[in-house]
Amino acid sequence: MDTKSPIINIALVGGRYYCSEVLESTNLSSSEEDLNARIVAVADPDPESPGMILARQQGLTTIEDYHELYDPQYGIGLFIVLTPEQQVLEDILATRPLHIRIQSFHVFEVFWKALSIEERKLRKRNQEVETILNGIQDFIVVLNPELEILEVNEAFFQKMGYTPEEVIGRKCYEVFHNIDHPCDQDTMVCPHNDVIRHKRPVQQIRKRQKRNGEERYIEVSTFPVWEKDGKISRFVEISRDITKRKKEEEEITRRLEEMVEERTLQLKESHEKLLHQDRMASLGKLAASIVHEINNPIAGTLNLLMLMKRIIHEGPVKKEELAQFEEFLDLMEAENRRISRTVSDLLSFSRQDKVEPKRVSLNDLIEKTLFLNSNLLKISGVRVETRLQENLPDVFGSEDQLQQAFMNFISNAAEAVEVVDGGILKIETSLSPSNGKITVSFQDSGIGIPRENITKLFEPFFTTKKKGKGVGLGLSVAYGIIEEHGGSIQTRSELNKGTTFRVLLPLNGFNPEA
């Protein structure tokens, strides 16, 4: 059921001062949706009175004799008498149809003066608010839901270089971004859409253009003004130009980046110097160790040769001297083996030897390595026990390198067992179906390794041996070879009970570039 009140058509009787003032100051002469009354006609004997002239300009009906407005075709429901002449009011009261109501001049004047006083107060208050808003240095912009700019304060005009005609009534994106379409949400998040989406004020930092095209950084706070039905009636933007602060931040960031880059370069140079110093120190340590390791056996061999040569020159060699010669030759052989092992370790450590990968039987390789080291094991008093799994698959790799690694494990075990006057070296091979890797285990019953040294075993030049027994490259070389073959080494040791090295090798893990 439509409960809306019908519209009341109003006629003004009297076309002088009050008439023109009413027509100029009210919206009753236009058809506003929210009003249920409208002025449709003005009556005055003088067609050139101010009210009659203004009424014609506004398209209203103008009549010299108000009696004509009694005709139902005009649909007049209310006469407002704007002339103080008493006889006019009395005549209307006496002649009007009953459906037309009347407001007398004196009643109108009371209310109109009261409204005028309130209007003046409101206008004064609006001026005060406008003065306050224009005194604020932040930008204040009021927009409607269609993003048209309705109001702007003076700070915006002054600092952004626009005139009111260039801003009021235009879309915000036309003014702020110089485009003819709403902001693209993929590249520019609109604060008004954010307000609608989140139903709360939103703050953003955005780029906006001045009238001369210069881009500025603007910190924008957008506040919604809600209607009773939950719709937004206005957007109020309060913003400030933060270009100076933003540029200072960018400059600070740029300087920090330059400082970091410069410091990084300095650290890189210092690191390279330290690496160079470390390499030189390592080279010096290596050179000193190698000189010692090679010079001692050479000196011993040379002394024995000179002794044998002197004995021969002194006369015929006697039988007991031949036995002594045989002992000298054994010592010379042992010293030359020391030199050979040291050189072999250095060559493997530097990876300068040519690698020829192929299928390798680890069981055969272990038997071969034990045979080559049989004399060393015998001299050290080591008894070897092997448990090699039958039908063990071959691995793909370098036979020479794997042999070098196994020799280092065996020689280390021999030296550890020799210290305790003999012992056992157990070597086992097995295939683990779960991970497809072959395990080679070297377990000795030697003196063992202190716990604090376990993590250092595979570091180059680390050794606990006495001088003349090695330069600390054997296990480092072995570690590099096994890693190159895609494998790993596990170490378990207990003092005075022995050490176990477990080598895990994949069947196809060789990487010659490692």
> Residue 136 corresponds to which tokens in the numbers above?
């604020």
Q: What is the mean pLDDT of residues 456-463?
A: 70
pLDDT tens-digit profile of 147-194?
Answer: 888 888 887 887 778 888 888 888 888 887 778 788 766 666 677 777
H-helix segments, 161-242: 164-167, 172-176, 191-198
CA-to-CA separations, 86 to 81, 92, 316, in angstroms, rounded: 10, 10, 175
2: confidence class by pLDDT, cuts 50, 70, 90 = very low
Chain length of the chain:
514
353-359: long-range pairs with CB below 8 Å, 24+: 353/400, 353/401, 355/398, 355/400, 355/401, 355/512, 356/398, 356/399, 356/400, 357/396, 357/397, 357/398, 357/510, 357/512, 358/396, 358/397, 358/398, 358/399, 359/394, 359/395, 359/396
Q: pLDDT value at position 291?
A: 65
Compare 238 and 422 and report the one with higher pLDDT.
Answer: 238
pLDDT tens-digit profile of 280-291?
Answer: 666 566 666 566
Would you say residue 65 has pLDDT above 90? yes
Do 336 and 329 touch, CB atoms closer than 8 A? no
CA distance 426 to 388: 10
Give the DSSP letter of residue 498: E
Do 425 and 444 touch, CB atoms closer than 8 A? yes
Q: What are phi and psi of 203, to 5 degrees?
A: -120, 135
Do 12 and 19 touch, CB atoms closer than 8 A? yes
pLDDT tens-digit profile of 229-270?
Answer: 778 888 888 877 888 888 888 888 888 988 998 888 888 888
CA distance 480 to 493: 21
SS3 at position 211: coil
Would you say residue 510 has pLDDT above 90? no
Would you say residue 365 has pLDDT above 80? yes
CA distance 315 to 377: 38
Percent of the chain past pLDDT 90, that is, above it, reads 20
H-helix segments, 358-497: 362-372, 374-379, 399-419, 451-454, 474-484
Do 149 and 141 touch, CB atoms closer than 8 A? yes
Compare 34 and 91 and report the one with higher pLDDT.
Answer: 91
73: confidence class by pLDDT, cuts 50, 70, 90 = very high
Residue whose entry in the numeric block shows the structure tokens 């039988």: 319
> Residue 154 corresponds to which tokens in the numbers above?
């003076």
483-491: long-range pairs with CB below 8 Å, 24+: 483/514, 484/401, 484/510, 484/511, 484/512, 484/514, 485/395, 485/397, 485/398, 485/401, 485/402, 485/509, 485/510, 485/511, 486/510, 486/511, 487/437, 489/458, 491/449, 491/454, 491/457
Would you say residue 465 has pLDDT above 70? no
CA-to-CA separations, 441 to 40, 214, 362, 494, in angstroms, rounded: 114, 77, 12, 16
Residue whose entry in the numeric block shows the structure tokens 């003046």: 120
| Mean pLDDT across the chain | 81
CA distance 152 to 143: 9
CA distance 203 to 238: 9
Residue whose entry in the numeric block shows the structure tokens 């390789």: 365
Q: What is the mean pLDDT of residues 11-32?
A: 79
Amino acid (one-letter) located at 91: D
311: left (phi over 0), alpha (psi -120 to 50) or beta: alpha
pLDDT tens-digit profile of 77-109?
Answer: 999 999 999 999 999 999 999 999 999 999 998
